[in-house]
Each structure stands twice: as structure tokens, then as C-alpha cells.
């Protein structure tokens, strides 16, 4: 893949995950070329790459669209994450130095600051910090196969965030899990890390799928954007 195509892929992926387009929205090559400031060839290659990752759907008649996922498909995604992600984060224990653990704790603090009730919540920033938190742990598992698989399935669940609403309780639990994961990593206890990660994923799945089956969940005490950002 050329440098221009890789840049286009990274930018387009980030914009989809940030919620620039909703699932099902059309992704026109000409418009994307202007937004990403590249020619249409890198855009075409980026769309093909993101289709493989599951973020884009390609159709001969309808062109490219942001992918949509059924409740059954999302359940499958979370089943896969529950099998692999706790193992990956457990493997990271002992492979993070003190400075890296401090950085994870700082990410947890910043997510809490942006997500606490009564503040000026910045859900896009929480999403960015959350992706960095989890990506760091997965990278430190030092397994390219695990990293590639988990990056793909995490992107799919993150990209559904515009349809979902965490309740205040779900959000509070999710933010707290990050601090407990850091504590477990600092203690060098991989069993503890894996247990908290499972709780974290179960919390996210319950919130997301509950909102899919009942769109009114969370609307009285949350705003658009909490969504799956902490999954």
C-alpha cells in the first residue's frame, strides 16, 4: 500500500470511528478525496481496506457505505472480544514499565475528568483516550495475530456508538474499570487484569445491546456520544 493510500486509510478509519458518518451513510469517492485531500485512487484503496476490516460495506449497485451491524452480529463480536481481549491484556502484565503504567493511569484520569457528571463532557476526547488505553495494552501483549484480530473487532463495536447510549451507571462503571485495570497491572496480577477486562466488556455489551433493543434507554440522563466509546 502506498503512503498516500495508508494515510487515506488511517484518516478515513479515524473519521468513521469518530462518528463523522452514521452506519449506512454513503461514502462517495469524490467527496472523500476532497475531505482527505488525496486523489480518488488512494480513496478507493482505503475503502477496500476498510471493507476488509468490517467498517465499510461495498456494493456494485450502491457503492461504499459505512457498515451496519445487527444485534446478532454485535453479539458475535463481543463473544470474540471476550475470548481474546482479556487474554491479550493479561499478557501485557509484566511487559509495561513504570512510565508506561503511569501513562495508562493518566489516560484513566483524563477520561474520568471528561466524563464525570456535571462537567463539560467531551465524548470525542474520551473516545480517543479510550482507544489509546486499550491499544496500548493490546500492543504490549506482543502478539501480532491477537493485535490484528482485536483491532478489527474493536473498531466494529466502537463504530456503532451513534446508535447507543450508556446510562450514567454504565458510564461510571466503565470509567472505574480503567483505574482498576491500572491497579491490577501495577500489582503484576494478570488474573485480576483479565477479570476486570471481562467485567468491562460485559458492561459495554449490556449497555449497547440494551440500547439497540430499547432506544429510550439512557436518553433521560445521557447525551448522544457516550455510546460505545468505552467498549
CATH of the domain at 108: 1.20.120.530
Please report the pLDDT score of residue 46 as a whole number. 95
142 and 195, same domain (yes or no): yes
Check which CATH number belongs to the domain holding 47 and give it: 1.10.10.10
pTM recorded for the entire structure: 0.77
86 and 45, same domain (yes or no): no
89 and 44, same domain (yes or no): no
Is residue 153 assigned to a domain? Answer: yes
Is residue 225 assigned to a domain? Answer: no
Is residue 10 assigned to a domain? Answer: yes
Is residue 223 assigned to a domain? Answer: no
pLDDT digits (tens, 9 = 90+) for 161-213: 533 456 788 888 999 999 999 999 999 999 999 999 999 999 988 887 776 66
75 and 187, same domain (yes or no): yes
- Range from 57-66, 88-97, 160-169, 188-197 carrying the lowest mean pLDDT: 160-169
Q: For residue 204, count CB atoms less than 10 angstroms from its CB and return exposed for 0-12, middle for 13-18, buried for 19 or more.
A: buried
Greater pLDDT, 176 or 22: 176
Based on the structure, what is the number of domains in the chain? Answer: 2
189 and 150, same domain (yes or no): yes
Please report the pLDDT score of residue 216 as a whole number. 52
Of 105, 177, 175, 173, which is closest to residue 136 (Cα–Cα)?
105
102 and 35, same domain (yes or no): no
CA–CA dist 175, 108 (Å, integer): 7
Q: Which residue do the cell numbers 447510549 mark? A: 165
The mean pLDDT value for 123-140 works out to: 88
Domain termination site, one of 34, 66, 98: 66
The mean pLDDT value for 11-22 works out to: 85
Instruction: Decide if 54 contacts 77 (C-beta within 8 A).
Output: no
- Residue 185: C-alpha distances to residues 64, 94, 119, 190, 204 (Å): 41, 8, 29, 7, 21
CA–CA dist 143, 114 (Å, integer): 32
Q: Is it the case that residue 227 has pLDDT exceeding 50?
A: no
Domain span holding position 101: 71-213
Amino acid at each position: 500500500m502506498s503512503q498516500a493510500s495508508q494515510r487515506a486509510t488511517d484518516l478515513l478509519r479515524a473519521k468513521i470511528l469518530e462518528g463523522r458518518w452514521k452506519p449506512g451513510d454513503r461514502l462517495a469517492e469524490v467527496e472523500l478525496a476532497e475531505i482527505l485531500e488525496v486523489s480518488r485512487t488512494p480513496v478507493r484503496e482505503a475503502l477496500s481496506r476498510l471493507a476488509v476490516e468490517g467498517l465499510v460495506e461495498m456494493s456494485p449497485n450502491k457503492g461504499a457505505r459505512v457498515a451496519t451491524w445487527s444485534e446478532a452480529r454485535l453479539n458475535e463480536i463481543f463473544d470474540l472480544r471476550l475470548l481474546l481481549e482479556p487474554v491479550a491484556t493479561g499478557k501485557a502484565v509484566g511487559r509495561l514499565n513504570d512510565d508506561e503504567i503511569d501513562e495508562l493511569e493518566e489516560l484513566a484520569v483524563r477520561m474520568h475528568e471528561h466524563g464525570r457528571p456535571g462537567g463539560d463532557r467531551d465524548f470525542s476526547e474520551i473516545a480517543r483516550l479510550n482507544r489509546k488505553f486499550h491499544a496500548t495494552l493490546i500492543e504490549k501483549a506482543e502478539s501480532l495475530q491477537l493485535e490484528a484480530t482485536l483491532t478489527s473487532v474493536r473498531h466494529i463495536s466502537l463504530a456503532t456508538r451513534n446508535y447507543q447510549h450508556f446510562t450514567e451507571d454504565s458510564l461510571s462503571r466503565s470509567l472505574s474499570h480503567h483505574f482498576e485495570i491500572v491497579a491490577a497491572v501495577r500489582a503484576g496480577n494478570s488474573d485480576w487484569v483479565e477479570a476486570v477486562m471481562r467485567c468491562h466488556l460485559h458492561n459495554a455489551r449490556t449497555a449497547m445491546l440494551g440500547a439497540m433493543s430499547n432506544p429510550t434507554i439512557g436518553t433521560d440522563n445521557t447525551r448522544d456520544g457516550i455510546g460505545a466509546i468505552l467498549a
